[in-house]
Structure 1
């Protein structure tokens, strides 16, 4: 089972290594996320959010593995009035998508670099990326990914 502090360390490493991510937070659920995002300032853009994982178990008695269901978001604070037109709105998704792809690269790189480490058992087939919009005045992308441990 992935430990909370391992996830916090990963979030900080991602912030340190991915130019353009200026803040990170680990939240428990959607309600806590909304509280963090409402205090998030436009000057803090962009933010990496990790959501506390859910855990399932797979396997039999002596070969049990935890399936850590991880979720990350890369979001940018903005109000509808900040966009003069649809092109500016779509550009914001383009910019945050580029950061999301760097995050995916970082996670997959962790798997390759540390074959026995915490993130060596990422399940690539589980990767799901989708847009997030107007969540506490934030827009961007969410990533869901499974990790076996």
Structure 2
């Protein structure tokens, strides 16, 4: 059962989307829920772009843009806007909750990305390996005949 806070202006979304803090997010269990790849077959590129969806045990989803970079020695999974300088072109979406601070103010995208980089990603040490495992990388490898 949810109770309305009469101090706030009524918003129907408050009934459907609970408020949560970064500390509460950190206390949830997170798994890799979905991986999406964008690959341009017409142009040769050493980069694969896509999105990844992380899901908590409380049905909260975080969607991140990522890129796989082929350095010639290894494939690196980097999250745009978090580990790269490309913050403006990144997409960082949270669904299932409105993330707020201790004063009930909505968290900025910059603060959320800092939390993801410093807290959530270290909690998922196998995330990069899991992303690569979900991709059929043989489609993107060329062999000399």
TM value normalised by structure 2: 0.32
Higher helix share: 1
Q: TM-score, normalised by structure 1?
A: 0.32
The one of the two structures with greater contact order (alpha-carbon pairs below 8 A, sep at least 6) is 1
